Amino acid sequence: MNNILIIEDEEKVSEVLKAYLEKDGYRVYCVPSGIKGLELFKTIDFKLIILDLMLPDISGEEICKKIREESQVYIFMLTAKGELNQKIEGLNIGADEYLVKPFSPRELTARVNALFRRLSSGNEESTSLCFNDGNLSIDYEKRSVKIKGEEVSFTPNEFDILYSLAINKGKVLTREQLIDKIGGEDFDGYDRTIDVHIKNIRKKIEEDTKKPRYIITVMKVGYKFGGEN
């Protein structure tokens, strides 16, 4: 059973989302505050957290940071904040997706279904990859990334983007292709989402982000992986 945690203080919103998600077979837990959300998160193995940013006790941003300190669980942020820079801030602190209220429960359910389809798909994702004499290693089964033997914390979407580029080494992937790989055809992403994730990935794996050797920008097209086997 795929467990989903909804941290949302608007009871009507929680009830509607819970009903839609349970109809599709998920086990859904709802809490109205950040403190209760963090407490429940430590007791149950959740695959996805749906997190409102405007909570009565702790901000959603702070909750996201705390969760990211110990887990790579997927996080969908819900908020009335719709400015692009606010979306970017959410991605920078570890969110995987960002939905602006009001939104359709069907839209959120479609994104959740796309996520779990991706998680359950076999594909070729049982590969361990190693580049530049072991400087960078990527293990799909463990979903881990190491730089010089030291594990680096990645959000789920950051990992999926890096792995997609690495497994297609030398091939240029457009932003649209990367959006499809991290969210599927139901994901209504936008180009800047990918750019923000790429920026964060580079900070984690590149010693010199101005002269990247792993993720290369192909102007007006997309990105490709430049690591050497």
- Span between the terminal Cα atoms of the chain, in Å: 38
Residues 153-225, CATH architecture:
Orthogonal Bundle (1.10)
Segment 176-194 shows an average pLDDT of 67
Tens-place pLDDT, residues 115-144: 888 777 655 555 789 999 889 999 988 889
**Domain ranges within the chain, ordered by starting residue:** 3-120, 153-225
User: Which CATH number is 3-120 given?
Assistant: 3.40.50.2300
Nearest to 73 by CA among 90, 44, 49, 97: 49
Sequence-separated (6 or more) residues with CB below 8 Å from residue 220: none
The yes-or-no verdict on residue 22 having pLDDT over 90 is yes
Q: Residue 111: pLDDT band by 50, 70, 90 thresholds?
A: confident
Tens-place pLDDT, residues 163-175: 999 999 989 999 8
CA pair distance 45, 63, nearest whole angstrom: 17
Q: Indicate the pairing of strand 173-174 with strand 144-147.
A: unpaired
Sequence-separated (6 or more) residues with CB below 8 Å from residue 69: none
Q: Residue 84: pLDDT band by 50, 70, 90 thresholds?
A: low
pLDDT of res. 212:
74
Segment 22-46 shows an average pLDDT of 96
